[in-house]
Amino acid sequence: MSVEAPKLDPITFEVLRSSFEYTCERMSNVLQRASFSPIIYDMVDYSNGIFDSRIQLLGQTANCPVHLAAMHFSAQACVAKYGVLAPGDVVVLNDPYQGGTHTPDVTMTAPIYYGDELLGYAVSRAHWTDVGGGGAGGQAFGTHIAAEGLRLPPTKLVEGGKLNEDLVAIIRNATRVPQYVDGDIQAQLGALRAAEIELTRLANKYGLDVLHEGMREVIDYTERMTRAAIERIPDGTYEADDYADTDGFQPEPIRLHVKITVKGDELNVDFEGTDAASLGSINSPMANSASAVYYSLKFFLNPDAPANAGFYRPITIDIPEKTWLNPVWPSPTIGCTTLASSKICAAIWQALAKAIPERIVAPTFSECNWFVASVADSAGDLYVFSDLPAGGWGGTPYRDGMNVTMDPLGNCMNLPAENAEMLFPVEYDSVEMRMDSGGPGEYRGGVGMEFQVRFGGRGELNMECSRTRAGSPGVNGGYSSPPQTQSRIATDGSRHTIGGLTPEGEFISCLLAGSPFSDGESFLFESTGGGGWGDPLKRDPAAVLDDVLDEYVSAKAAHDVYGVVLDIAAERVDEVATTLRRDQLRASRASERSVASNAV
Q: Which contacts (CB < 8 Å, 24+ apart) does range 257-260 have? A: 257/347, 258/344, 258/347, 258/348, 258/351, 259/351, 260/348, 260/351, 260/352, 260/355
- What's the pLDDT tens digit per position in 210-267? 999 999 999 999 999 999 999 999 999 999 999 999 999 988 999 999 999 999 999 9
Q: What is the pLDDT of residue 63?
A: 84
Instruction: Name the average pLDDT for the chain.
Output: 95
Q: How many CA atoms are closer than 13 Å to the CA of 421, on its beta-carbon side?
A: 10
Q: What is the pLDDT of residue 597?
A: 61
Q: What is the pLDDT of residue 596?
A: 62
- What's the pLDDT tens digit per position in 82-113? 998 999 999 999 999 999 999 999 999 999 99
**Is pLDDT larger for residue 595 or for residue 597?**
595
DSSP secondary structure code for residue 280 in this structure:
S
- What's the pLDDT tens digit per position in 297-346? 999 998 889 999 999 999 999 999 999 999 999 999 999 999 999 999 99
Peptide bond into 389 cis (omega under 30): no
Counting every residue written for the chain, the total comes to 600
**Is pLDDT larger for residue 423 or for residue 599?**
423
How far apart, in Å, are the Cα atoms of 386 and each of 12, 29, 39, 284, 424? 44, 22, 7, 21, 10
Q: What is the pLDDT of residue 598?
A: 63
Provide the terminal-to-terminal Cα distance of the chain, rounded to the nearest Å. 48
Position 144 confidence tier, pLDDT thresholds 50, 70, 90: very high
Q: What is the pLDDT of residue 84?
A: 87
Position 1 confidence tier, pLDDT thresholds 50, 70, 90: low
- What's the pLDDT tens digit per position in 164-196? 999 999 999 999 999 999 999 999 999 999 999
Position 124 confidence tier, pLDDT thresholds 50, 70, 90: very high
Q: What is the pLDDT of residue 583?
A: 96
Residue 345 and residue 69: Cα distance in Å, rounded? Answer: 14
**Is the four-CA dihedral 96, 101, 106, 111 of positive or negative sign?**
negative
Position 519 confidence tier, pLDDT thresholds 50, 70, 90: very high
427 by DSSP, 3-state: which? strand
Q: What is the pLDDT of residue 599?
A: 63
Q: Span 498-511, mean pLDDT?
A: 96
Residue 600 has pLDDT above 60, yes or no: no
Position 594 confidence tier, pLDDT thresholds 50, 70, 90: confident
Q: Are strands 522-526 and 485-489 parallel, antiparallel or unpaired?
A: antiparallel
Q: Span 46-66, mean pLDDT?
A: 94
Q: What is the pLDDT of residue 2?
A: 57
- What's the pLDDT tens digit per position in 4-43? 788 999 999 999 999 999 999 999 999 999 999 999 999 9
Q: What is the pLDDT of residue 61?
A: 87
Q: Span 573-585, mean pLDDT?
A: 96
- What's the pLDDT tens digit per position in 253-286? 999 999 999 999 999 999 999 999 999 999 999 9
Q: What is the pLDDT of residue 592?
A: 84
Which of these, 301, 296, 308, 311, lies nearest to 343 by C-alpha position?
Answer: 296
The fraction of the chain above a pLDDT of 90, given in percent, is 93
Q: Span 534-563, mean pLDDT?
A: 97
Q: Span 389-401, mean pLDDT?
A: 96
The fraction of the chain above a pLDDT of 70, given in percent, is 99
Edge-to-edge strand order for the sheet containing 155-159? 57-60, 46-52, 117-127, 105-114, 90-93, 155-159, 162-163
Alpha helices in 148-252 (DSSP H): 165-174, 181-206, 208-231
Residue 62 has pLDDT above 90, yes or no: no
Instruction: Parse the chain into domains and list their residue ranges.
Output: 10-223, 361-539, 540-599
Side chain identity, residue 277: A
547 by DSSP, 3-state: which? helix
Q: What is the pLDDT of residue 257?
A: 98
Residue 290 and residue 113: Cα distance in Å, rounded? Answer: 29
Edge-to-edge strand order for the sheet containing 426-433? 426-433, 449-455, 522-526, 485-489, 495-501, 507-508
For the whole model, what pTM was predicted? 0.95
Instruction: Out of 306-315, 354-363, 522-531, 591-600, pick the least confident.
Output: 591-600
Q: Helices 286-298 and 341-352: crossing angle, nearest 10°?
A: 40
